[in-house]
Chain A
Amino acid sequence: MENKRRSFLKFAGVSVLGLGSLSLLDGLTSDDVIASSGQASAEATYKKTSKALTAERWGMVIDTKKLSGRICHKMEKACHEAHNVPHHENKKHEIKWIWETHYKHVFPNKTDEFLVERLKELPIPVLCNHCENPACVQACPTQATFQRKDGIVLMDFHRCIGCRFCMAACPYGSRSFNFRDPREAIKHENKEFPTRMKGVVEKCNFCAERLAVGKQPACVEASKGALIFGDLADPQSEVRQLLKENYAIRRKQNLGSNPSVYYLV
């Protein structure tokens, strides 16, 4: 009797080990397939038309000289309405994709006592930087957040397990978590874009869904020329022309994440 039980325990132990390593091997071999199928499904969501805007590496230039509180507010509204971003009264549960803040918060390591007067109180928008080397993508344990070939960092809301590792990894605080059901807090739902559920992370997607149908990002459209969007890999693009002629800075350049959002100051 005792013997049987013991051999069963041994058998059970060995089987558990065996099963564990089996699924691991399985997973590793199919890794690439899964990663690409994840991207495929996300791109399929935004059906590309012949009008689709494409680029090798999407990027944005923010011209602070053209910014004002009114423009920032408009951009935020346009983005949050287009993407069904909920408005929670409780600040702790806040979701934001693009929002305005001040120079000292945008560039906390470039603050200066004698900062040029114009920048001190100027509202400046912040959003996901769609880094070329994104820490969030590296941290995500399920590839729910991933980088497209054109540089856009996207979220698969259906795969996200809500561990918030990406939020700890992001050096810009660009990500939000649905601490509660977002659907109750959406005033006007945009049927063209999915709503999210509680327990998943979300952030700016550089309007991948609008680019797919030939439209500029919602914030760019609302910015009255303050935001310029284009292909960083194309020397002829407007963004590259602007960067050639103006001194631009990026947030926390020293970290090596290589943001795709430039600020003209």
Chain B
Amino acid sequence: MLEKALKGSKAYWIWVFALLGIIAVGFGFYLKQLDFGLGITGMNRDVTWGFYIAQFTFLVGVAASAVMLVIPYYLHNYKAFGKITIMGEFLAISAVIMCILFIIADLGQPMRLLNVLLYPTPHSMLFWDMIVLSGYLVINLVVGWNVLDAERNSVPPAQWIKPLIYLSVPWAISIHTVTAFLYCGLPGRGFWLTAVLAPRFLASAFAAGPAFLIILCLLVRKVTTFDPGKEQIQSLAKVVIYGSCANMFFFLCEVFVAMYSQIPEHMDHLQYLFFGLHGHGILVPWMWTAMILIVSGIVLLLIPAARKNESVLAVACVFTFVGIWIDKGMGMVAGGFVPNPLHEVNEYLPTFPEVMIGIAVYATGFLILTMLYKVFVGVKEEVAA
């Protein structure tokens, strides 16, 4: 089936080569990072994780959100999602690959990456993260590819694929749970030290992931002859509302616990993010923008007339996606490191090379996604013909 990704219109190839160009530029910056060290990023002795790990965290969520298609279709027999479930699985594949690339970009000694396999350490959450992420990648590759192949041959998918599909449900939950455990099990970081972190990660993932999928569906409808379907898009929109509301609910629970108990270790980070601390507040405008975007997204999606208008829906999805991206991709990681364990405030913002490397990773993900979707749409067109 892969050959379908090698035949395309002029516009397709322009897009592919544009992505390749971005990847090349970013790779140049990565070579510079390899040569100089991570000092070319904005990270420092106090904020030791930044843009890369934040993107990794956010994208694990996007990957996990494929489960929001798998559950209704395979467990509740909601037939409409059968048409687009593979889109979710292919999105998960590209998202997991981006996650792995962001981890590699963040390592000080990437050549030693395999030490994680050579000296397996079950008491380290990073070890489990590696296992669940690679497992999830394989599951989605095998399931997505085989189901699509069966569809192409107009036969039902092989029986042995069913257990894998069921396995993918708890597995999807596990990838984001373990990712949250990277943070919430650390004794000295009050901002992350909350049992609601994993549930909140999942909730925000189930808002941002499907929101992105809606945008993808609208794009696919625009640039190909395949229509993912009005009903499917509307159902996804409802998933986004539930996810986004649950995310805000968990967030407000966190705010209440920190602010009402007034325990400084928990309160200081929120104060830093939303109001600034000791005169430092680089992220304040970002955080408020995120909140406004997320809340406007919820409001737009809750009004039936607005939700059913696909242009408004697209705007609401962009708001939700960008809002959660800022909150998780910028605030969550940096906010946990400021103030530092000695209660000093040293801020972080990514540098230009750091952002360029990040954009190149995203371009790689989009390239993989483009090719996978090209195959997917190609099969749909072939079957329809």
Measured between alpha carbons, how far is A105 from B343 in the docked complex, in Å? Answer: 6
CB distance from B90 to the nearest CB of A (A): 16
Count of chain A residues with a beta carbon within 8 Å of a chain B beta carbon: 65
Q: A142-B119, A177-B108, A252-B188 are in contact. Are A108 and B126 (CB under 8 A)?
A: no
Q: Can you list, as one digit per residue, whether each of A20-40 has a CB less than 8 Å from chain B (1) or not (0)?
A: 100110011001001100100
B-chain residues with CB within 8 Å of residue A9 when the two chains form the complex: 145
Answer whether residue B374 sits at the interface, using C-beta atoms and an 8 A cutoff.
no
Measured between alpha carbons, how far is A171 from B116 in the docked complex, in Å? Answer: 24
Count of chain B residues with a beta carbon within 8 Å of a chain A beta carbon: 57
Q: Is the CB of B187 within 8 A of A255?
A: yes
A-chain residues with CB within 8 Å of residue B131 when the two chains form the complex: 24
User: Would you list which residues of chain A between 157 and 178 have a CB under 8 Å from chain B?
Assistant: 159-165, 167-173, 176-178
A-chain residues with CB within 8 Å of residue B120 when the two chains form the complex: 24, 27-28, 31
Q: Is the CB of A165 within 8 A of B182?
A: yes
A52-60, A133-141, A211-219, A241-249 - the one binding chain B:
A133-141
Answer whether residue B36 sits at the interface, using C-beta atoms and an 8 A cutoff.
yes
Q: Can you list, as one digit per residue, whether each of B125-144 has a CB less than 8 Å from chain A (1) or not (0)?
A: 11100110011001001100
Measured between alpha carbons, how far is A95 from B376 in the docked complex, in Å? Answer: 51
Which of B39, B43, B124 is the one whose CB lies under 8 Å from A139? B124
B-chain residues with CB within 8 Å of residue A177 when the two chains form the complex: 38, 45, 48, 108
A-chain residues with CB within 8 Å of residue B116 when the two chains form the complex: 141-142, 161
Q: Is the CB of A141 within 8 A of B121?
A: yes
Q: A6-B149, A9-B145, A138-B124 are in contact. Are A168 and B37 (CB under 8 A)?
A: no
Q: Is the CB of B188 within 8 A of A170?
A: yes
Which of A20, A142, A201, A252 is the one whose CB lies under 8 Å from B121? A142
B-chain residues with CB within 8 Å of residue A162 when the two chains form the complex: 38, 107-109, 112
Q: Is the CB of B115 within 8 A of A27?
A: no
Q: Is the CB of A20 within 8 A of B134?
A: yes
Measured between alpha carbons, how far is A197 from B49 in the docked complex, in Å? Answer: 19
Answer whether residue B262 sits at the interface, using C-beta atoms and an 8 A cutoff.
no
Q: Is the CB of A169 within 8 A of B121?
A: no
The number of A-B residue pairs with CB atoms under 8 Å apart is: 177
Answer whether residue B117 sits at the interface, using C-beta atoms and an 8 A cutoff.
yes
Chain A residue, CB-CB nearest to B137: A16
B-chain residues with CB within 8 Å of residue A91 when the two chains form the complex: 44-45
A-chain residues with CB within 8 Å of residue B340 when the two chains form the complex: 173
Q: A16-B138, A141-B116, A171-B341 are in contact. Are A179 and B43 (CB under 8 A)?
A: yes
Chain B residue, CB-CB nearest to A167: B48
Answer whether residue B186 sits at the interface, using C-beta atoms and an 8 A cutoff.
yes
Which of A106, A141, A161 is the one whose CB lies under 8 Å from B342? A106
Q: A105-B342, A139-B124, A256-B187 are in contact. Are A163 and B107 (CB under 8 A)?
A: yes
Given contacts A159-B115, A163-B103, 16 further A-B contacts (CB under 8 A): A28-B120, A109-B264, A142-B116, A142-B121, A143-B121, A161-B108, A161-B110, A161-B115, A170-B188, A172-B341, A198-B36, A199-B38, A199-B107, A200-B109, A255-B187, A256-B187
Question: What are 27 of the A-B contact pairs (CB < 8 Å)?
Answer: A2-B153, A20-B134, A27-B117, A27-B120, A31-B120, A92-B45, A93-B45, A135-B188, A141-B124, A142-B119, A159-B115, A160-B108, A163-B103, A163-B106, A168-B186, A169-B187, A171-B188, A171-B341, A172-B342, A176-B45, A177-B45, A177-B48, A179-B38, A179-B44, A180-B37, A198-B39, A256-B187
